[in-house]
Amino acid sequence: MSDEVIIRELVGLDQTMTIFPLYSQVSRLSEAVVCQRLSAMFAQSNYRCIAAYIDERMVGASGFWTGTQLWCGKYVEADNVVVDSALRSQGIGGKMMAWIEAEAERTECAVIRIAMVLGRERTHQFYARNGYFDDGLLMVKALSRGAAEFPEYVSQQV
């Protein structure tokens, strides 16, 4: 088995759904829900997905969005960066982020950003090592439809 990591863009829903076994290592979502959400994401025309392979084995995956905001202009946001749990801390995530960053440069984006859940120190350290800075706070409130899936985001106000 080679140790070389190859990054490939996945095109279309069928190819992108091949991330499901890897994604299921970090998510409880069913395959049907992942397919439904990816379909909606592709329909927005600004979502893309890459996968990292060693030989022909998928060992990492990440989606990313391109958008424009007033404060920064054109940007890329990485979405759900996942590396096979048996292969973490071996540079695979860094190679995927480097690919996304190169694509952001190629498409003339001003910044690249990522949102992450608080309390995941290893994840925070990974991004800091790769040149990312804390520059904001993403605040989340679960609406009635998301309360069951995201109980940690339900307001506890009295």
The verdict on residue 147 lying in a domain is no
The verdict on residue 121 lying in a domain is no
Round to whole Å and give the CA distance between 109 and 120: 27
The verdict on residue 129 lying in a domain is no
Number of domains in the chain: 1
The verdict on residue 150 lying in a domain is no
pLDDT tens track, the chain, 158 positions: 568 999 999 999 999 999 999 999 999 999 999 999 999 999 999 999 999 999 999 999 999 999 999 988 999 999 999 999 999 989 999 999 999 999 999 999 999 988 877 777 888 788 888 887 877 777 777 777 777 777 777 776 54
Round to whole Å and give the CA distance between 18 and 57: 11
Adjacent-strand bridge partners of 67: 75
CATH number of the domain where residue 42 is located:
3.40.630.30
Q: Return the closest-CA partner of residue 78 out of 115, 41, 45, 129.
A: 115
The verdict on residue 25 lying in a domain is yes
The verdict on residue 12 lying in a domain is yes
Between strands 73-83 and 111-114, the pairing is: parallel
Q: Which two tokens stand for residue 156?
A: 């506890």
Round to whole Å and give the CA distance between 128 and 105: 20
The verdict on residue 130 lying in a domain is no
Q: Which two tokens stand for residue 158?
A: 């009295």
pTM: 0.85
The verdict on residue 26 lying in a domain is yes
Q: What is the domain extent for residue 30?
A: 3-114
